[in-house]
Structure 1
Amino acid sequence: MMKEQKDNLFILVKSLSKSEKRQFKLYVGRLGVNEDSKFLMLFNILDKLSVYDESVILKKGIVKKQQLSNLKAHLYKQILISLRLNPSHKNIRIQIREQLDFATILYHKGLYKQSLKILDKAKTLAITNEEKNIAYEIVELEKVIESQYITRSLSTRADELIAQAKDLSLQNVLASKLSNLSLELYGLFLKTGYVKNDTEHKRVTQYFYDRLPEYDLHKMGFREKLWLYKAHLWYSFLTLDFIACYKYASKWVALFYENKDMIILNPVFFLKGNHYLLEALFYLRHYKKFKETLFNLEEITKEKWFPLDDNNESLAFLYINNNKFNLHFIEGDFKQGLPLIDNVLKQLEKYKNRIDEHHVMVFYYKIASMYFGAGENEKCIVFLEKIINNKSLQMRADLLSFSRILNLVAHYEAGLDYNLDVLIKSTYKFLIKMEDLYDVQKEFIKFLRGLGDIYPQEVKAAFIELHKKLKQFEHDPYQSRAFLYLDIISWLESKIENKPIDVIIRNKFESQVLKTTFN
């Protein structure tokens, strides 16, 4: 099967809504460009194609192969200009930047007073909306103009601008250090996953506090607090401190509800904050709060005032559906969760150019887990193999390793044990190579390795023995992480009690709900 070609211009054209396409053609018309213009003809060809095919474009004869890249670059630029002029894309950030551009043009024309007037309004708007990087640029331009246009008390004005520039610079430096730290921790998380022992815990803790800048919370604005909470959140996730995760994710989300205008200006961070809050609640198994938070998130994204552009729409899909899977996992109603799979797969196709491959693989793992819990092991294997066979993507080590472990269990459950020995060897080799063996995994692999030598009447006793060994890890701060990816304990109990795994998990959930209600 031929791999579908990816082309940035084609993806951009296909991302345009009907109104944006109409806006583009009106924009071209205003330019006074002839209807036979080559870049407009290229636009119409790409609009009609279902997949990018350069040979189809060349057959139309509008351009030679050597000139095609230049024509594509020109069309790409014109589409972006058209989108920038579209009122639906004119958020506060673009408006401020536009005012700065206007002021710069007026300055170069020598119209200093007009330029300063626009800059003053733009600066107020930037500071009010926490756009402090642009605000700093504005102050720097004001300083340049004031040095040439002397009508006020220059010494007072100079002192005012110097103080403002210094204050904005300090805030921008703090925000930059905190955002760098947050990004570094996130990168570490993607590369290595959670800490697995005291040595790793100490290393990550030292890494975090060595890079955490000094700050005064009372002097921090919205943006600086946001990056502070993000940095603490990633440190807490890495070190498996889910209570701290909940604390900082709650602060993150509360920050937006205290500054509701920021939800409109920074919807991506609002969505992400809610997602991490839900993830922390999932790990803590705070069912009631989890369900309430998920419901509130879904409802707020349906509000007319919520800015659901292409990017936000795909992120809302990603985070809401990711956590809908988790809700089914908490409740143990895997069979009831199966209809969610078809919807998610359709939406993944719709958003394929906006959702990165790593998040697609996370969905595949959740789909596989849903099928496994519902007892549909062969379907589970199909999605696990999509992860295991993906050689082009550097995914989280823990996701890869548990995909292979679940693959072994699913093969065993499906009765596909003719090549189980080969699977066990390749999985064990893979895990050793990745240096990602939890004690839970070691015990489980050891058990599966010896399963073929156990007589049928002895299998139940072997399950009981393994269950006893793994139970000791259930509350270990490092080893218990393994059970959040794959509930091996519940699977063993299903084999011992001869009940489906979803019944075991559902009974535990109902017991926990009753316990919480009466306590």
Structure 2
Amino acid sequence: MNARRSEGDNNYVRLFDFIDKQASNQGNYDEDAVKEYFKGEKFIKQLHVLKSYLYGTILRSLRLYNSEKSKVNELHGLLRDVDILFHKSLYGQCKKLLNKAKKIALTHEKYTQLLEIIDMEKAIARAEAYTKRTEEDLDNIYYEVNDAVEKIRNINDFWRLSTKSFFLRKKYGNIRDSEELNKFNELMKNPLLKSEDKATTYFSKNFYYNIKGLFYLTKGDYENLLRYSNKLVEFLEANPGMMRSNNYLAALNNLLIVQMETKKYIDAMVSIKKIRAIEPESKTMRAQMFIISYDNEMNLYLLTGEFQKGVKLAKEIEKGLKEFSGRIDQESEILFYYNIAYIYFGAGDYEKSLEWINKILNKKEFRLREDIQIYSRLLNLFVHYEIGNYDLLEYEIKSARRFFDSHNYLNEFEKIILSFLNKLIFATDEEVKIDLYNDLKYKLSKRSKEVRENRIMEYFDIDSWLDSKIEKKSFSSIIGNKAINK
């Protein structure tokens, strides 16, 4: 923020610096803290006036910053200059600026502004009584207008198809029957969606790849979804002059989700590195890049049993959580806590795992999703078992049962797990323990078609934990072997 260093301006700068530091540390504005910090200062009595002025100054600075970045604003500026020169009859200078503007408009597909530029060319031709234009020149102007209008129509048509596909996805989610599939198939029969060549502009092609991706996502066809997610990323990378960083981040995020879903872990790491190499447009975008890349890399190590790599990553995540405090949503923060707890569990550092679980269980102000509530409490019980806290575990089992029951989470799956642990803490003979492990494996296999329970098992692989006990192998080696053989 630029400011002259008069006494009054110094007050604005001091206020801005304090609020900025407050936002970085706390994530929100605390007016009482502002008044306390500047207590005794004359200007604080007019805090509402200072805030209003500061707000306006920041907006003006942002307008200036964004106007320098926006090609549309640059074109509007050139057209204003042309208008001034035109009214002074300086047509030669007008033409130079219009040529510059036309190159920008064509390069960046600003076809609406291109029509304004061509209108100015027509006006100059009329003002010069068509003496400096050939008939061929005027024909070219006609064709340029037609071409720009066609490009605008093409973008608009693909935008319409994009919104229709979005609302079909929103209405039906994943397709469950042939009637729902038919509605999406009808949309996909549109001639414009037969080939990407029908999309004649950068923006149209962007819409095309997104529509295709959304269709295959809704259909559950991950092979084709992966293909079109890759196509979109490759298309954006081939057009760096047009690409916005936030659009590229969104495309890489979608590709990364599909790569993780289809077990393309090597490709997923490539996407993660690409995300971290993006030049962020804002602090908020930097925080998004942190969440997307580190969450997915941590999940990758959890799914492949590479827990020691995950432990190293956990230390980087800790630093990031502090750096981006106030810019990370609560749900993402809690998921980081859980994944770090799980990574330490897999690495055999149960005390450290418990430390991170307690961060979740002690966050009373957080309104957690049902699934996170369940994962955290189940993992907590298994950590206590591994530590050997059998007396405390008996209490924790009762506490978990009360919690599940009071929140209507006590389903058959939870009952089976709690019953198993209750028996396990009193089993001293190894053969009895093996029988209990095998019994639980059998019961879980009978419930393998339950979607809700499979989701829980994705976040805590109880089946692999049981195998590690039965086969007397490490938890990480069991998960690693399963990942290789899938």
Q: Tell me the TM-score normalized by structure 1.
A: 0.69
2:35 is aligned, of 43, 51, 55, to 55
Matched position secondary structure for 1:63: helix
Matches within 5 A, 1:324-473: 324-377=297-350, 379-384=352-357, 398-399=371-372, 401-414=374-387, 415=389, 416-427=393-404, 430=407, 442-449=412-419, 451-452=421-422, 456=427, 457=429, 458-471=432-445
Deviates more, 1:206-215 or 1:77-86: 206-215
Distance 2:217 2:314 in 1: 27
Alpha-carbon contact 1:411-1:420 (below 8 Å) kept: no
**CA shift for structure 1 position 171:** 0.9
The AA in structure 1 aligned to 2:344 is Y
Distance 2:233 2:450 in 1: 30
Residues 1:76 and 2:35 aligned together: no
Equivalent in the alignment of 2:159: 175
Distance 2:375 2:218 in 1: 17
Deviates more, 1:143-152 or 1:289-298: 143-152
Equivalent in the alignment of 2:26: none
Matches within 5 A, 1:143-158: 150-151=126-127
**CA shift for structure 1 position 268:** 2.2
Q: Classify 1:141/1:222 alpha carbon distance in 2 versus 1 (closer, same or farther; 3 Å).
A: closer
Equivalent in the alignment of 1:223: 203
Matches within 5 A, 1:279-358: 279-295=257-273, 298=276, 300-301=277-278, 306=279, 310-358=283-331
Alpha-carbon contact 1:136-1:169 (below 8 Å) kept: no
Distance 2:217 2:384 in 1: 32
**CA shift for structure 1 position 108:** 8.3
Matched position secondary structure for 1:370: helix
Q: Classify 1:354/1:143 alpha carbon distance in 2 versus 1 (closer, same or farther; 3 Å).
A: farther
Q: Classify 1:246/1:156 alpha carbon distance in 2 versus 1 (closer, same or farther; 3 Å).
A: closer
Q: Classify 1:365/1:464 alpha carbon distance in 2 versus 1 (closer, same or farther; 3 Å).
A: same
Deviates more, 1:394-403 or 1:323-332: 394-403
Deviates more, 1:146-155 or 1:447-456: 146-155
**CA shift for structure 1 position 234:** 5.2
Equivalent in the alignment of 2:27: none
Q: Classify 1:109/1:384 alpha carbon distance in 2 versus 1 (closer, same or farther; 3 Å).
A: farther
Matched position secondary structure for 1:285: coil
Distance 1:161 1:470 in 2: 67
Distance 1:392 1:142 in 2: 59
**CA shift for structure 1 position 390:** 6.2
- 1:86-126 Cα shifts (integer Å, max 9, x gaps): 69x944xx133233145257648974967887567445424
Alpha-carbon contact 2:245-2:280 (below 8 Å) kept: yes
Q: Classify 1:203/1:359 alpha carbon distance in 2 versus 1 (closer, same or farther; 3 Å).
A: farther
Task: In structure 2, list runs of 5 or more residues that go unmatched.
Answer: 23-29
2:12 is aligned, of 42, 67, 70, to 42
Residues 1:136 and 2:112 aligned together: yes
Q: Classify 1:419/1:404 alpha carbon distance in 2 versus 1 (closer, same or farther; 3 Å).
A: closer
The AA in structure 2 aligned to 1:506 is G
Alpha-carbon contact 1:236-1:245 (below 8 Å) kept: yes
Equivalent in the alignment of 2:461: 487
Q: Which has the larger radius of gyration?
A: 2
Equivalent in the alignment of 2:71: 95
The AA in structure 1 aligned to 2:251 is G
Distance 1:209 1:365 in 2: 40
The AA in structure 2 aligned to 1:355 is I
Distance 2:289 2:57 in 1: 29
Aligned-CA RMSD value? 4.5
Alpha-carbon contact 2:341-2:356 (below 8 Å) kept: yes
Equivalent in the alignment of 2:25: none
Percentage identity across aligned positions? Answer: 24
Alpha-carbon contact 2:346-2:476 (below 8 Å) kept: yes
Q: How many residues align?
A: 453
Q: Classify 1:479/1:48 alpha carbon distance in 2 versus 1 (closer, same or farther; 3 Å).
A: closer
The AA in structure 1 aligned to 2:347 is A
Q: Classify 1:279/1:406 alpha carbon distance in 2 versus 1 (closer, same or farther; 3 Å).
A: farther
Task: In structure 1, list runs of 5 or more residues that go unmatched.
Answer: 1-23, 434-440
Q: Tell me the TM-score normalized by structure 2.
A: 0.73
Alpha-carbon contact 2:420-2:440 (below 8 Å) kept: no
The AA in structure 2 aligned to 1:75 is L
Alpha-carbon contact 1:100-1:138 (below 8 Å) kept: no
Distance 1:127 1:160 in 2: 11
**CA shift for structure 1 position 339:** 2.7
